[in-house]
């Protein structure tokens, strides 16, 4: 991890991104509402929420493109947007899709962005541009005009621009939009690789499955509010695992479950369900069998993150706002 020395050995784990009370209104709509993000250095943080939940607006505020109405945010402890000039060279970003000059080639576009960064050295530009293009598999199309690029190639060029320098933080706003399954896999692989090198990754998505395998941390957005954030495992436990029991004698089964203090056991037409609530499945089955209740099948139902997400947002993936 290439953090500057003054940050080493601090008591708290350093936060790559921190915000307090971050709020933004567009017209009458509260787009981002009192956001307190905490993205630990070295984490892969999945920022998930349905379309229109305020992810991109949040990212714009974090990067100093949009001014918050109230609240503040900081990258590596430096306030944004005041410290933009010093901090942004350490940050690579893809915000709301790629955008380049249509009549310039991929290489020429990257060269222009490199020229825009006063901290970057023109002597090493060609080498850095070449390796960024290699990294996203775009070397073969580097000389083509951007307007001739497919959606997936454009997305790759956007990621290449974020990789022009070694970065401490990568902010990727829906990086797999428009990519085919193969491209999606490649991006995931690339993110994992960069994370392994120590880069903090902040990746937004409206598709939970996309980040689930990738992330160490998640934050869940809904209608501009951060519903929860933390290590992924903690979020999983938010939804307690349940079980599903099939038996010819549901009434007796409910009696046994009551003695085991299963909080919400209930019987419907074909099964008895309830929350495991810390009980091992084998204990429940043993108790049932000991009480003479016939057990046809007993299935623990582990919650997916998807379930947790739906439970949190209450609405699944519908557009909000």
Partner 1 sequence: MSAAEKTRERRVHRSGRLFASELGLMCGRRRNQVGLATLFALVVLVGVALKVSAMRRPGSRGGDLVSAVAGNGIYLGFAGLTIEIALFLPLAVSVLAGDAVAGEANQGTLRYLLLAPVGRLRLLVVKAGALIVGSVIGAMVVAAGGVLTGVVLFGAGPLISLSGTQLSVADGLWRLALAALYVATGLAALGMIGLFISTLTEQPIAATVATAMVGTLLWVLDAVPQLDWLHPWLLVDRWPAFVDLLREPVFLDRIVAGLGINAAYGAVFFALAWLRFRGKDITS
Ligand X SMILES: Nc1ncnc2c1ncn2[C@@H]1O[C@H](COP(=O)(O)OP(=O)(O)O)[C@@H](O)[C@H]1O
Q: Which spans of this chain sit near Mg ion (rule: CB under 5 A)? A: 56
Does 303 contact partner 1 by CB under 8 A?
no
Contacting range for partner 1; rule: CB under 8 A; set: 109-117, 221-229, 264-272, 307-315? 109-117
Does 88 contact partner 1 by CB under 8 A?
yes
Q: Which of 53, 105, 205, 313 binds ligand X (CB under 6 A)?
A: 53
Q: Could you give the CA distance from residue 30 to residue 33 in angstroms, rounded to a whole number?
A: 6
Does 95 contact partner 1 by CB under 8 A?
yes
Q: Could you give the CA distance from residue 131 to residue 128 in angstroms, rounded to a whole number?
A: 5
Does 316 contact ligand X by CB under 6 A?
no
Does 237 contact ligand X by CB under 6 A?
no
Q: Which of 19, 41, 43, 57 binds ligand X (CB under 6 A)?
A: 57
Does the N-terminal peptide bond of residue 8 adopt cis geometry, omega within 30 degrees of 0?
no
- Helical spans, DSSP H, in the chain: 55-62, 84-87, 106-116, 125-135, 151-162, 181-196, 208-212, 232-238, 250-259, 281-290, 305-313
Choice between 9 and 118, CB closer to partner 1:
118
Q: Give the position of tokens 């601090």.
A: 10
Least Å from the CB of residue 90 to partner 1:
10
Does 85 contact partner 1 by CB under 8 A?
yes
Contact assessment for residue 203 and residue 46, using Cβ atoms and an 8 Å cutoff: yes
Choice between 49 and 250, CB closer to Mg ion:
49
Q: Which two tokens stand for residue 76?
A: 């590596």
Total residues interacting with partner 1, rule: CB under 8 A: 32
């Amino acid at each position: 991890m290439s953090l500057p020395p003054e940050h080493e050995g601090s008591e708290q784990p350093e936060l790559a991104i921190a915000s307090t009370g971050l709020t933004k209104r567009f017209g009458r709509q509260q787009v981002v509402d009192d956001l307190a993000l905490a993205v630990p250095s070295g984490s892969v943080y999945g920022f998930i929420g349905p379309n229109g939940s305020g992810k991109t607006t949040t990212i714009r505020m974090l990067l100093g493109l949009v001014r918050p109405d109230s609240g503040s945010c900081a990258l590596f402890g430096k306030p944004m947007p005041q410290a933009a000039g010093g901090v942004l060279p350490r940050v690579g970003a893809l915000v709301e899709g790629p955008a380049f000059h249509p009549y310039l080639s991929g290489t020429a576009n990257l060269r222009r962005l490199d020229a825009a960064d006063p901290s970057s050295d023109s002597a090493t530009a060609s080498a850095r541009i070449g390796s960024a293009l290699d990294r996203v598999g775009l070397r073969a199309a580097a000389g083509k005009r951007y307007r001739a690029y497919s959606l997936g190639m454009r997305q790759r060029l956007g990621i290449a621009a974020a990789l022009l320098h070694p970065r401490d933080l990568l902010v990727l706003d829906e990086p797999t939009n428009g990519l085919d399954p193969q491209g999606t896999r490649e991006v995931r692989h690339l993110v994992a690789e960069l994370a392994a090198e120590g880069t903090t990754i902040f990746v937004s998505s409206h598709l939970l499955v996309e980040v689930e395998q990738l992330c160490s941390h998640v934050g869940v957005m809904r209608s501009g509010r951060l519903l929860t954030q933390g290590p992924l495992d903690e979020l999983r436990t938010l939804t307690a695992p349940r079980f599903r029991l099939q038996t010819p004698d549901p009434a007796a089964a409910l009696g046994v479950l009551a003695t085991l203090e299963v909080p919400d056991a209930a019987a419907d037409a074909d099964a008895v369900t309830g929350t495991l609530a810390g009980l091992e499945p084998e204990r429940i089955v043993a108790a049932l069998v000991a009480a003479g209740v016939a057990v046809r099948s007993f299935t623990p139902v582990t919650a997916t993150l998807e379930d947790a997400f739906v439970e949190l947002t209450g609405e699944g993936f519908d557009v909000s706002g």
